[in-house]
């Protein structure tokens, strides 16, 4: 029997849902602060000019995971729709939102490539640390563009691969060993080109680096011991330039590149 990629991702992340709600890496960061600043500023401007002809702001948290984007967005929006393929993730988000009194967060199960919303339904689309799991990256971006209202804006955040092939290959190998539902960390150039093809214009681009603590990083995804050992073997035997670029520590911890892209529909 074959299993679709979407089902495989959902099955993989179901048992991990609570770990992503409590994950320090996912729960905080300058990228979340940037999202909240954009929301507050953009929302004030939207209320002033009312470009869309309706009051309030609808936000899509695309690939919501543990819901941290939704929690930040809720105080600035009329409604936040948290979308994910994993039912357990959505249950955890709904439970956490209720505990925090965030009554304007609703959840919906769907893959990024097939969103069950009308064209132009959302004023803002937010997408953080999920595109590297999509089966069809460009289809997901096209859907994000389709459901974004005229005059709206979107923010995409993800781990990215360095451009040199020797570094790119190392990253993809350790990522798929850590989590077999991983598809690809795209390069900045791949992101820029795909966004343009999907109908977005990049307004700003902010690179950052995150320190990934190896034990926490592998525990969060319940990486099998054999796979964790393989990652450590690859790290120990990597070329000097690879070790230097990722700043691989004695315990396997390393630096991971991330990218925040603020975009507008063309």
From residue 184, give the alpha-carbon distance in Å to each of 15, 23, 180. Answer: 22, 22, 11
CA distance 216 to 60: 29
The backbone region for 199, taken as left when phi is positive above 0, alpha when psi lies in -120 to 50, beta otherwise, is: left
The count of other CB atoms within 10 Å of the CB of residue 57 is: 22
Q: Print the SS3 string covering the chain.
A: CCCCHHHHHHHHHHHHHHHHHHCHHHHCCHHHHHHHHHHHHHHHHHHHHCCCCCCCCEEEEECCCCCHHHHHHHHHCCEEEEEECCHHHHHHHHHHHHHCCCCCEEEEECCCCCCCCCCCCEEEEEEECCHHHCCCHHHHHHHHHHCEEEEEEEEEEEECECCCHHHHHHHHHHHHHHCCCCCCCCEHHHHHHHHHHHCEEEEEEEEEEEEECHHHHHHHCCCCHHHHHHHHHHHHCCCHHHHHHHCCCCCCCEEEEEEEEEEEEC
| pTM of the model as a whole | 0.91
pLDDT per residue as tens, the chain (266 positions): 345 877 766 665 655 656 555 555 666 689 999 999 999 887 666 654 555 455 579 999 999 999 999 999 999 999 999 999 999 899 999 999 999 999 999 999 999 999 999 999 999 999 999 999 999 999 999 999 999 999 999 999 999 999 999 999 999 999 999 999 999 999 999 999 999 999 999 999 999 999 999 999 999 899 999 999 999 999 999 999 999 999 999 999 999 999 999 999 99
């Amino acid at each position: 029997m074959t299993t679709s990629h979407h089902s495989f991702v959902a099955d993989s992340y179901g048992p991990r849902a609570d770990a992503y709600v409590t994950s320090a890496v996912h729960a905080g960061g300058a990228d979340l602060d940037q999202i909240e600043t954009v929301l507050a500023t953009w929302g004030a401007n939207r209320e002033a000019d009312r470009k869309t002809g309706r009051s309030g702001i609808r936000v899509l948290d695309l690939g919501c995971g543990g819901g941290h984007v939704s929690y930040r967005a809720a105080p600035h929006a009329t409604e936040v729709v948290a979308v994910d393929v994993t039912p357990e993730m959505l249950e955890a988000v709904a439970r956490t939102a209720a505990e925090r009194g965030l009554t304007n967060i609703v959840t919906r199960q769907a893959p990024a490539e097939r969103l069950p919303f009308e064209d132009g339904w959302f004023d803002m689309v937010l997408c953080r640390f999920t595109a590297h799991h999509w089966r069809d990256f460009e289809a997901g971006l096209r859907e994000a563009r389709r459901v974004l209202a005229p005059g709206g804006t979107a923010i995409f955040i993800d781990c990215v691969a360095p451009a040199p092939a020797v570094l790119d290959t190392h990253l993809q190998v350790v990522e798929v060993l850590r989590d077999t539902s991983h598809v690809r960390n795209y390069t900045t150039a791949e992101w820029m080109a795909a966004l343009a093809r999907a109908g977005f214009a990049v307004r700003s681009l902010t690179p950052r680096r995150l320190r990934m603590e190896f034990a926490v990083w592998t525990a969060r995804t319940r990486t099998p011991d054999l796979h964790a050992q393989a990652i450590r073997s690859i790290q120990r035997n990597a070329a000097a330039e690879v070790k230097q670029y990722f700043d691989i520590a004695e315990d396997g911890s390393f630096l991971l590149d991330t990218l925040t892209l603020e975009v507008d529909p063309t």
